[in-house]
Chains A and B, each alone.
Chain A
Amino acid sequence: MLTNYVGILLLVLVAATLCAAMVTLSWVLGPKRVTPFKTSPYECGVEPLGSARERFPIKFYLVAIIFILFDIEVVFLWSWMTVFKSADQQFQIFSYFEMLIYMATWVLGYVYAIRVKAFDWDETTSLETHEGAIQSEVAA
C-alpha cells in the first residue's frame, strides 16, 4: 500500500529539486550590475505612481469562496462514483436518489448565485437587477 506512494514522493522531491535548481542557477550564473532605473518597478518607462498593493474588487473574493463551496460539494461525491457502477441494484437505486437530492441543493445554490448575478463582471449589472442598472444609469 505504502510503496505506491513512494513514487509520488520521489517525483515531488525530483520536481522540487529541479524547480529550485532552475531558479537559483540563473541567479548564480548571470552578471549583476544594479542600477536604480533597472531595479525600479516597470511602469511603461515612467516613474512608478503610488503603491501597487492596491485593494481590489470583492468580486475575486466572492468567486473564490463560491468555488470552495462547490468544490467541497463535489468532493463528497468522488468516493460514491467509484462504487456506484459495480454495486447491487438496491444500493444503486437508493444512492441514485440520494445523489439527486444532494445535487438538487447544489442546483438551488447555483441558481441563486446566477439569479443575483454573482458571476457577472460587468459593473453596471453585477449584483443588481437589470432595471436597477438602467435606473442608476438614467439617474446619472
Chain B
Amino acid sequence: MNLEMIQSFTPAHFLFLALAGIAAATAVGVVAFNDPVRSALCLVGNFFTLAFLYFTLNAELLGITQVVVYTGAIMVLFLFVLMLLNLGGVKMMKEKFDVKRVLGFGFGALLLYVIGAQVILPLNTITTAKAANDFGGPEMIGRALFTTYVWPFEVASILLLIGVVGSIMLAKRKV
C-alpha cells in the first residue's frame, strides 16, 4: 500500500476500514476471551458493527434486521443460557500436542484462500455498482418477498411454528 493509494481513499473507505477493524477486533475477542459471558458480549459488539457495515452497502433493512434479531433477541438468549449453565472461566487441560490447533490453522488458511480467490480478487476489477439504487430498501424487499419468494416465506412461518412447539416440548417438565 503506497501513499498514492491512501490519498485516493474517500471518507467512505476510512469509515469502512474503521468499522471493519472494530468488527475484526470483536470477532477475535469472541475466540480469545476465556470467560464465555465476555465472548458473548464481543459477539454482540460484532453484530452491532456488522449492521453498520450493511448500512454502508445500502442494505438498510438487512442491517437493522441484524440488530433486531441477532443483537436484540438471539444474543439475549445466549446470555441467558450462559447464565443458566453458570460456566465461569474455562479450566483447560494443557495437552502436549493439540491436533485441533494445527487442523484449525490449516482450515483457516484454506478458508482465507477461498475467500481471497473467489471474492476479493474478482471484486477488485469491479468499478461501478451493479445493484439498483433502492436495492436494500424495505419496499424492494417487501415486493420480492411476496412475489418471487412466496414459498420460502410461507415455509419459514412453518419452520418457526415447529421452533415454538419444539422449544416448549424441551422445556416441559412432564412429557
Contacts and interface: CB of A to CB of B under 8 A. Distances in A.
To the question of whether A and B form a pair in one complex, the answer is: yes
Interface of A: 1-2, 5, 8-9, 53-56, 58-62, 64-73, 75-76, 78-84, 87, 91, 94-95, 98, 101-102, 105-106, 108-109, 112-113, 116, 118, 127-128
Interface in B136-175: 138-139, 141-143, 145-147, 150, 153-154, 156-158, 160-161, 163-165, 167-168, 171-174
Interface size class of B (residues with CB under 8 A): 35 or more
A109 B167 contact: no
Interface in B42-101: 52, 55-56, 58, 61, 65, 68-69, 72-74, 76-77, 80-81, 83-84, 86, 88
B12 interface: yes
Contacts of B72: 71
B141 A79 contact: yes
A109 B54 CA distance: 32
Nearest to A57: B84
Given A72-B160, A76-B145, A80-B145, A61 B81 contact: yes
Interface string B122-142: 000000000001000011011
Contacts of A95: 146
Given A69-B160, A78-B65, 13 more contacts: A2-B58, A5-B52, A9-B15, A56-B83, A58-B84, A69-B164, A72-B160, A80-B146, A81-B142, A83-B139, A109-B164, A116-B168, A127-B172
A28 B160 CA distance: 49
B142 A108 contact: no
Chain A to chain B: the 8 pairs with minimum beta-carbon distance, closest first = A79-B142, A109-B164, A83-B142, A79-B141, A105-B157, A79-B138, A95-B146, A62-B171
Contacts of A83: 138-139, 142-143, 146
B146 A128 contact: no
A73 B157 contact: yes
Contacts of A5: 52, 55-56
Given A56-B84, A83-B139, A71 B68 contact: yes
Contacts of A71: 68-69, 72-73
